[in-house]
């Protein structure tokens, strides 16, 4: 299935809760204005069946913090019956105790938010002192056989831009991939002006040092395999702001925690209500078709 710009629809990103146990000051809340915890485990049979019929083969569970749902393993188990890949984006708090169970339920891979290895910086960014728990969760995920484990590092000017290579080294040592992410915020906002930094110079340095460059289909992202301390670190750069290649490489839609299909992270004026279709795979499929018709690149 393709939209009117020729972009295939391959994945669905599902916000399973808006609750979170961190207070990261840069959080864009998956573009949700309100949100709740509308989706029940049984709803994921409908979501999975309809999405699979639409050609969607991958589902990513997000939040808020998905681990706050005690039924997360059940949700993963249901979706894995319909999807080739079910993955998770998490802040990692408490993941060390559930990585094995999630793997057994059918989880394939995990992205873990980790912006710094320095406790004081972590506290400044998240408002909490959970750094050791997150690091433990990273290591537990690798041991559980989740592949790949990606560390999501949002690049924040004046806070953590000097830590990229230290983070790369840590990722290499534990067997993970570092994903450096440009902070997302509309141009002109005070927040954007205060914390945004252009990842382009970092990407040029990575390209210069790289032993290998891998171009991914999603968002035209690039992974750089670079030599580091006698080993090889893999660093991926995500540049969503003012990036036409990023938007033309988008292959996903979102499902919000309160029951709306969202064609674009940056927009809330083209949502598709699916709250009355969660027991009807045929109707949910038709709503996916409608959401796909509304997909268009934000950056042209």
pLDDT of residue 8: 96
- CB count in 10 Å sphere of residue 36: 14
pLDDT in tens, 146-187: 999 999 999 999 999 999 999 999 999 999 999 999 998 654
Token couple for 280: 């009807």
**Beta strand residue intervals within 63-182, DSSP E:** 85-90, 109-113, 149-155, 177-182
| Residues sharing a CB contact under 8 Å with residue 282, sequence separation 6 or more, in sequence order | 50
Least confident of 91-95, 187-191, 209-213: 187-191
Angle between helices 43-53 and 72-79 (to 10 degrees): 30
pLDDT in tens, 52-103: 999 999 999 999 999 999 999 999 999 999 999 999 999 999 999 999 999 9
Domains of the chain: 11-293 (3.20.20.70)
- CB count in 10 Å sphere of residue 77: 18
Helix (H), strand (E) at residue 141: helix 131-144
């Amino acid at each position: 299935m393709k939209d009117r710009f020729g972009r295939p629809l391959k994945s669905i990103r599902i916000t399973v809760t808006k609750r979170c146990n961190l207070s990261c000051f840069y959080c864009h809340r998956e573009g949700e204005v309100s949100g709740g915890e509308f989706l029940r485990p049984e709803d994921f049979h409908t979501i999975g069946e309809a999405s699979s019929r639409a050609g969607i083969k991958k589902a990513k569970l997000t939040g808020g913090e998905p681990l706050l749902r005690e039924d997360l393993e059940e949700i993963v188990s249901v979706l894995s019956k319909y999807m080739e890949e079910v993955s998770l984006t998490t802040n990692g708090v408490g993941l060390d105790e559930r990585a094995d169970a999630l793997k057994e339920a059918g989880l394939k891979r995990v992205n873990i938010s980790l912006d710094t290895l320095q406790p004081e910086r972590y506290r400044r960014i998240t408002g909490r002192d959970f750094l050791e728990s997150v690091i433990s969760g990273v290591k537990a995920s690798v041991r559980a056989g989740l592949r790949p484990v990606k560390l999501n590092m949002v690049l924040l000017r004046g806070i953590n831009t000097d830590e990229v290579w230290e983070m790369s080294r840590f990722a290499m040592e534990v067997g993970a991939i570092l994903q450096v992410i440009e902070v997302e915020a509309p141009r002109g906002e005070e927040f954007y002006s205060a914390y945004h930094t252009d990842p382009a110079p970092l990407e040029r340095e990575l390209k210069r040092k790289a032993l290998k460059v891998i171009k991914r289909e999603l968002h035209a992202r690039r992974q750089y395999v670079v030599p580091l301390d006698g080993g090889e670190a893999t660093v991926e750069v995500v540049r969503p702001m003012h990036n036409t290649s990023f938007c033309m490489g988008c292959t996903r839609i979102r499902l919000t925690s309160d029951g709306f299909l969202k064609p674009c992270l940056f927009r809330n004026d083209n949502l598709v209500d699916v709250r009355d279709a969660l027991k009807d795979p045929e109707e949910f499929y038709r709503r996916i078709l409608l959401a796909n018709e509304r997909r268009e690149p934000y950056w042209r």
